[in-house]
């Protein structure tokens, strides 16, 4: 099950749990005074840790390598539509809130975005 490339601009390699080589789709959208960082699950194309299990470590790795301030971005996780018959592969997008403690995002909390919210970000 291949994730359509419309969900991401690049494949971002990252160190997952136990430094396992991992990959996700990455799209950075800058609108007015906001920067959205959208990471997309790649399912079978990802050899390692999922984006959700990578958590704060993935946020830090992206911000470090892309010169972004993790205190000012809006971080979004995307589980893309893969046209599977299994409901857990339905498209969902979550805004991830967190605190930065000693340079590391912690206490992650997830809020599912509505289709309207998603469209306003990606259009």
In the predicted structure, residue 91 carries a pLDDT above the cut 80: no
Q: Which of 21-25, 69-73, 86-90 has the lowest mean pLDDT?
A: 86-90
Closest C-alpha to 76, from 92, 60, 100: 92
In the predicted structure, residue 84 carries a pLDDT above the cut 90: no
Q: How far is CA 67 from CA 15, 27, 62, 63, in A?
A: 17, 14, 8, 5
Task: Please state, in angstroms and rounded to a whole number, the distance separating the CA atoms of residues 76 and 118.
Answer: 10
pLDDT digits (tens, 9 = 90+) for 104-118: 999 999 999 999 999
Q: 75 with 61: CB under 8 angstroms?
A: no
Q: 90 with 40: CB under 8 angstroms?
A: no
Domain containing residue 114: 5-122
Total structural domains in the chain? 1
Confidence band of 7 (pLDDT split at 50, 70, 90): confident
Structure tokens at 94: 């979550």
Q: What is the largest CA-CA distance in the chain?
A: 43
Calculate what percentage of the chain has a pLDDT beyond 70: 92
∠ CA 65-62-95, nearest 5°, is: 155
In the predicted structure, residue 10 carries a pLDDT above the cut 90: yes
Q: What is the pTM of this model?
A: 0.90
């Amino acid at each position: 099950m291949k994730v359509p490339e419309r969900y991401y601009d690049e494949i971002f390699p990252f160190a997952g749990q136990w430094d396992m080589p991992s990959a996700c789709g990455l799209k950075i959208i800058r609108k007015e005074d906001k920067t959205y960082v959208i990471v997309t699950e790649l399912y079978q194309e990802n050899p390692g840790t999922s984006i959700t299990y990578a958590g704060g470590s993935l946020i830090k790795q992206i911000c470090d390598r892309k010169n972004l301030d993790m205190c000012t971005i809006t971080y979004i996780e995307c589980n893309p539509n893969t046209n599977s018959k299994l409901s857990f592969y339905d498209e969902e997008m979550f805004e991830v809130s967190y605190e930065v403690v000693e340079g590391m995002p912690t206490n992650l909390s997830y809020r599912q975005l509505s289709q309207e919210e998603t469209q306003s970000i990606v259009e």
